[in-house]
Amino acid sequence: MSRLIVISNRVSAGGGAQGGLAVALNAALKEMGGIWFGWSGEVTEEFTGQIQFERREGITTATIDLEEQDIDEYYNGYANRTLWPLFHYRIDLAEYERDYAGGYQRANERFADSVRPLIEPDDVVWIQDYHLFPLGAELRKRGVRNRIGFFLHIPWPPRRLLVTLPEASKLVSSLLECDVIGFHTHEWLQSFCEYACDELGGTLDDDGILRIGDRTVKLVACPIGIEAKEFAEMARGDAATETFERVTRSLVGRTLIVGVDRLDYSKGLEERFLGYERFLIENPEERMEVVLMQIAPPSRGAVDSYQRIRNTLEGVAGRINGAHAALDWVPIRYVNQSYPREVLAGVYRASRIGLVTPLRDGMNLVAKEYVAAQDPEDPGVLILSRFAGAAEQMTEALLINPHSAEEMADAIGRALRMPREERIRRWRALMDGLLAQDVLWWRRCFTDALAKAPAPAPTPAS
């Protein structure tokens, strides 16, 4: 059987507090054997390409250090100041700088140079996410003829937005050197096709095969899942139960609404606070019966737009609490801290409403974790943004437009008053979906498509 070479910006192998993606990739590596390659997270004075190998719980990781300039231009620059906002439809925040584009290309070449010697003839290569769009093409230039797959974890923007990126055509063309490209939803896949067909002259057949010039690429929509069964068990375990009890006690009979998000402007936190405030204003008789707990660990603090959103949210949460709090009640518990997964599971379980309202999100795993953590006999209600990839699958949630404070306020009211039978019916349908399409299903969906993909491209003459 072929070995798997997973390549992502960072690696996350072995035990500890892992997210679903790490769990899925670790399971794939354990089953197929292989290596997980990426940046160590460390800075080096001068790039040498020296690889640090580690073996943890049956997984081999291979990491390289990058120079400070790489991190500034590739990671904080092009990946997080240019691509992330653009791909989340925020061209107002996207910064288009040639230095960032140059540094991104250079870092991808460094990845390619370093990982190339590790790839053996029968291996399959699986590249993860927007940090590494050009990597497949760089590997081809270095003679890699293996099957190469690419999975995008964030949305693909509409053509009209993507054309604002000066390097768009070059970036998409380089991506087409991969044999399979995966997206979370049909919507992102269609946006990609629209660009590839209208701007680059591609054609798509009924089997999802895109042809452009001499390239043939299989496009697949495989929504990522979570380890649903394990997460549900964890939510009933000792650590989660301790949190559940502690949080429930602190509510003194009030109803908890929960949000858990990396502190990111794509997650719609300001709109969420304003929608919740609207509910408080429109429902004076119910307002002191609820508490919103928002857990938002800071991320990407080196990027200005993240510092700004952090300041804005502190201001909005402070204003709402100042305007509405009573002597014995504070409407928003806003926590800028990260917690172990077991603690999150306990908080989800203690919450009658999961408020997951990103303005744009590739998938959103919090929506799935919230559902998995619920008590089957007395489950809570998921309120989910229509603009999260998860909305394509999770149609039994209360789907809302997060830009509308009125829709959010109405949905909160409806969720609070929802009869138990309806809560159970909706939850059962959502949970069945999570169990059927869990994270291992996702991994198989992609690696099967890769195994069946048309034969890899011949080595281009250099």
Residue in 72, 153, 324, 410 annotated catalytic? 153
Each as own residue / partner, the long-range contacts of residues 41-45 (CB below 8 Å, 24 or more positions apart, any chain) are 41/10, 42/66, 43/67, 43/68, 43/71
154 binds ligand GDG (CB under 6 A): yes
Residues 6+ apart with CB under 8 A from 313: 263, 269, 270, 273, 296, 334
CB of residue 365 to ligand GDG, shortest distance in Å: 4
6 binds ligand GDG (CB under 6 A): no
Residue in 70, 123, 129, 361 annotated catalytic? 361
Region from 117-125, 228-236, 358-366, 425-433 binding ligand GDG, contact rule CB under 6 A: 358-366
Measured from the CB atom, the residue of 111 and 387 that comes closer to ligand GDG is 387
CB of residue 238 to ligand GDG, shortest distance in Å: 17
User: Is 153 known to be catalytic?
Assistant: yes
Residues 6+ apart with CB under 8 A from 64: 38, 39, 40, 47, 49, 50, 51, 52, 110, 111, 114
Give the residue carrying structure tokens 């794939």: 28
Helix 341-349 × helix 228-236 angle, to 10°: 80
Q: Counting runs of H as helices and runs of E as strands, what totals does the chain give? A: 17, 16
Residue 360 one-letter amino acid: R
Residues 6+ apart with CB under 8 A from 177: 136, 137, 139, 140, 148, 215, 457
Residue in 370, 390, 366 with CA at minimum distance from that of residue 381: 370
CA distance 210 to 227: 32
320 binds ligand GDG (CB under 6 A): no
CA distance 177 to 210: 12
User: Is 186 known to be catalytic?
Assistant: no
355 binds ligand GDG (CB under 6 A): no
Residue in 359, 354, 352 with CA at minimum distance from that of residue 370: 354
Q: Per-residue contact track with ligand GDG, 219 to 258, x per CB under 6 A? A: -----x----------------------------------
Candidates 16, 19, 201, 213; binder of ligand GDG (CB under 6 A) is: 19
Region from 56-64, 273-281, 316-324, 338-346 binding ligand GDG, contact rule CB under 6 A: 338-346
CB of residue 18 to ligand GDG, shortest distance in Å: 8
336 binds ligand GDG (CB under 6 A): no
Candidates 11, 189, 313, 365; binder of ligand GDG (CB under 6 A) is: 365
Region from 4-12, 355-363, 392-400, 411-419 binding ligand GDG, contact rule CB under 6 A: 355-363
366 binds ligand GDG (CB under 6 A): yes
362 binds ligand GDG (CB under 6 A): yes
- Look at residue 406 and give its three-state secondary structure: helix
369 binds ligand GDG (CB under 6 A): yes
Residues 6+ apart with CB under 8 A from 324: 277, 280, 287, 331
Candidates 66, 119, 180, 344; binder of ligand GDG (CB under 6 A) is: 344
- Look at residue 264 and give its three-state secondary structure: coil
Measured from the CB atom, the residue of 153 and 423 that comes closer to ligand GDG is 153
361 binds ligand GDG (CB under 6 A): yes
Q: Which residues bind ligand GDG (CB under 6 A)?
A: 17, 19-21, 153-154, 224, 260, 262, 295, 297, 338-341, 344, 361-366, 369
The catalytic residues are 153, 361
